[in-house]
Every structure is written in structure tokens, then in C-alpha cells.
């Protein structure tokens, strides 16, 4: 362990935050990609997640080795998801890259995943052969699909597999009324709130979001979205920011969004040591 890692771990241990003990968080949107693990090695990354008071974190990485390193260190904490990206640069090319299928199949043969994603998929691209195969693999392996998608792509996925369980990344960056329509239509749709601020800015939940959370108390969860290495240093702050606006909701509802919904969606996932 290098001196910097040791120093960080010591400082994190010494500064165990009071807030972390208050409300556990299921962070449904964490990435640990190749450039992140080069800068923030796995022990540091796990220390950050624990300092943030995360109960569990849905982690996906480009490439998958980042997720595997974290799972190996903290199987109780990390819920692994398989991205169809070998590097972060494949975000807009994967849908037409046939080699992605072989990559997914190989990974699914050799490791267990609770989800496939986060992937970026829009409109008619969802019906291309590579995404179709991915949806089929998710069905075969009983994995949740973590989709950064528009409404059109979600509908196409549901037509391919009406029983698909989809975690809608960023709630599609859609307006609350659009999100409501989709949640009413699809009982197997959940939403993360990553990289959105309007539902909890200043620790206050606006009326339209409060109504949405109240109508669908079991469908939302929070997420940091560590899409660049720097954002690992935002995980703790994001968790505390989330606690602030969740405290503006009735306690039972806040607790659901904070962690119970994530726990429920991924209740089927058991860490390797517990199998």
C-alpha cells in the first residue's frame, strides 16, 4: 500500500462522519472506469464509499475490471453491473459494434452480475442487433437493465422483453410528468436520480417531485454518477446532499428512496461469500 493510500485510509477512518450513521444510502449509479482506478486505487475507492455511508453501490465500469476489483474487496458493498463498454470511449459506438456481444457473453460466463449497464441507448437504436442481444442476455441471466435512454428506447426494450426490469438512469432527464407516465405504464421500471439537482436543490423537494415520489414511493433511488475519476471525490458530498433533501420527505419515504428501494430491487443479489 502506497503512503498516499495509507494516509487517505487513516484520515477516512479518523473522520468517520456522523451523517453516514444517520441514513444509509444505496447509490445506484457508480462507475469505476480504467482512468479512475489508475488514480484512485480500489482500497481508496472502497474507503470513499464507506465514508459516504453507502449501504450498497451499483457499480459498473469501463472496462469491467474496475467493478471486479471492487467486488473482490467489498462483496457486501458492491453490487456489480456489466457495462457493454471496454473503455469509456465506446459510449456512442457500442450499438453497432458486433464484438460487444462476444464481450458481454464472455463476461457473463465468467462472472456474476446483478445488472447490465449503464448503457446509452436512444430511439430506434434499441432495435439494432447488439442491443437486442444484450436485452436477451439480461433476460437469460435475470439481470436488471440500467438504461441511460429516452422513452422511445425504453418502449422498444419492453417490446423485446415485456418482463424486463429496467433501472432508468437519470430518470431519463425527463420532466416529472413524463416520468410519471412511464412509471404508471411500466410496473417493472425504476428510476435513479443521478446527476439531477432539481428535485432536491437547497434541501427542499419541489411539489411536482414530492407528488411523484409519493405516488411511486418504491421506484426511485439516488446515484452519484462518477463518470470521471474526479467525481469519486464527490461521492461523500453527494450522499450528504441526498440526505439533506431526503430529510424534507416523510421519514419512511426518504428511507425508501435512500436505500430500501435499491435493496428491494436487488434483493435477489447475494454476495459471493453468502451464496
Which one among 152, 180, 206, 234 touches another protein, defined by CB under 8 A?
Answer: 234
Q: Give the CA angle between residues 32, 78, 238 to the nearest 5°.
A: 65
Rounded-to-integer distance, Cα 182 and Cα 172, Å: 10
With respect to another protein, which residue has the nearer C-beta, 236 or 266?
A: 236
Which one among 83, 107, 148, 260 touches another protein, defined by CB under 8 A?
Answer: 148
Q: Does 75 bind another protein (CB under 8 A)?
A: no
Compute the least distance from the CB of residue 211 to another protein, in Å: 21
Q: Does 91 bind another protein (CB under 8 A)?
A: yes
Nearest to 153 by CA among 139, 174, 137: 174
Number of residues that bind another protein (CB under 8 A): 28
Cα dist from 45 to 12, 185, 197, whole Å: 11, 38, 24
Rounded-to-integer distance, Cα 79 and Cα 194, Å: 17
Task: Give the x/- contact pattern for another protein in 170-209, rule: CB under 8 A.
Answer: x--x---------------------xxx---xx-------
Contact region with another protein (CB under 8 A), list: 107-115, 124-132, 176-184, 230-238:
230-238
Q: Does 150 bind another protein (CB under 8 A)?
A: no
Residue 28 backbone dihedrals phi, psi, to 5 degrees: -90, 10
Task: Give the x/- contact pattern for another protein in 45-74, rule: CB under 8 A.
Answer: ------------------------------
Rounded-to-integer distance, Cα 214 and Cα 202, Å: 20
Q: Does 123 bind another protein (CB under 8 A)?
A: no
With respect to another protein, which residue has the nearer C-beta, 229 or 271?
A: 229
The answer to whether the CB of 165 falls within 8 A of the CB of 265 is: yes
Rounded-to-integer distance, Cα 107 and Cα 103, Å: 6
Which one among 161, 228, 263, 271 touches another protein, defined by CB under 8 A?
Answer: 228
Q: Does 168 bind another protein (CB under 8 A)?
A: no
Which one among 229, 255, 263, 271 touches another protein, defined by CB under 8 A?
Answer: 229
Whether omega for the bond prior to residue 71 falls within 30 degrees of 0, making it cis, is: no
DSSP secondary structure letters along 65-96 = HHHHHHHHH-TTTEEEEE-S-SSGGGTTTGGG
Which one among 16, 22, 76, 89 touches another protein, defined by CB under 8 A?
Answer: 89
- Per-residue H/E/C for 121-145: ECHHHHHCHHHHHHHHHHHHCCCEE
Contact region with another protein (CB under 8 A), list: 12-20, 83-91, 95-103, 257-265:
83-91
With respect to another protein, which residue has the nearer C-beta, 29 or 266?
A: 29
The answer to whether the CB of 188 falls within 8 A of the CB of 264 is: no
Query: Which residues form the interface with another protein (CB under 8 A)?
Result: 4, 8, 39-40, 44, 87-89, 91-92, 120, 148, 170, 173, 195-197, 201-202, 225, 227-231, 233-234, 238
Amino acid at each position: 500500500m502506497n503512503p498516499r493510500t495509507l494516509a487517505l485510509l487513516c484520515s477516512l477512518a479518523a473522520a468517520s462522519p456522523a451523517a453516514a450513521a444517520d441514513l444509509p444510502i444505496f447509490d445506484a449509479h457508480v462507475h469505476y472506469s480504467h482512468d479512475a482506478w489508475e488514480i484512485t486505487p480500489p482500497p481508496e475507492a472502497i474507503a470513499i464509499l464507506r465514508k459516504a455511508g453507502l449501504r450498497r453501490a451499483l457499480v459498473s465500469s469501463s472496462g469491467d475490471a474496475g467493478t471486479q476489483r471492487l467486488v473482490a474487496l467489498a462483496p457486501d458493498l458492491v453490487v456489480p453491473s456489466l457495462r457493454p463498454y471496454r473503455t469509456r470511449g465506446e459510449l456512442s459506438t457500442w450499438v453497432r459494434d458486433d464484438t460487444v456481444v462476444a464481450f458481454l457473453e464472455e463476461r457473463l460466463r465468467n462472472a456474476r452480475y446483478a445488472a447490465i449497464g449503464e448503457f446509452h441507448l436512444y430511439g430506434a437504436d434499441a432495435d439494432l442487433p447488439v442491443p437486442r442481444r444484450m436485452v436477451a442476455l439480461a433476460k437469460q441471466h435475470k439481470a436488471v437493465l440500467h438504461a441511460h435512454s429516452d422513452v422511445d428506447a425504453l418502449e422498444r426494450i419492453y417490446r423485446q422483453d415485456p418482463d424486463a426490469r429496467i433501472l432508468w438512469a437519470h430518470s431519463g432527464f425527463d420532466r416529472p410528468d413524463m416520468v410519471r407516465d412511464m412509471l404508471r405504464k411500466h410496473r417493472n421500471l425504476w428510476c435513479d436520480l443521478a446527476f439531477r439537482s432539481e428535485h432536491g436543490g437547497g434541501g427542499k423537494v419541489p411539489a411536482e417531485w414530492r407528488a411523484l415520489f409519493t405516488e411511486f414511493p418504491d421506484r426511485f433511488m439516488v446515484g452519484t454518477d462518477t463518470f470521471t475519476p474526479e467525481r469519486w471525490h464527490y461521492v461523500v458530498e453527494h450522499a450528504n446532499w441526498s440526505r439533506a433533501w431526503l430529510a424534507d420527505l416523510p421519514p419512511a419515504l426518504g428511507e425508501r428512496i435512500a436505500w430500501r428501494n435499491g435493496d428491494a430491487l436487488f434483493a435477489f443479489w447475494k454476495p459471493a461469500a453468502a451464496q
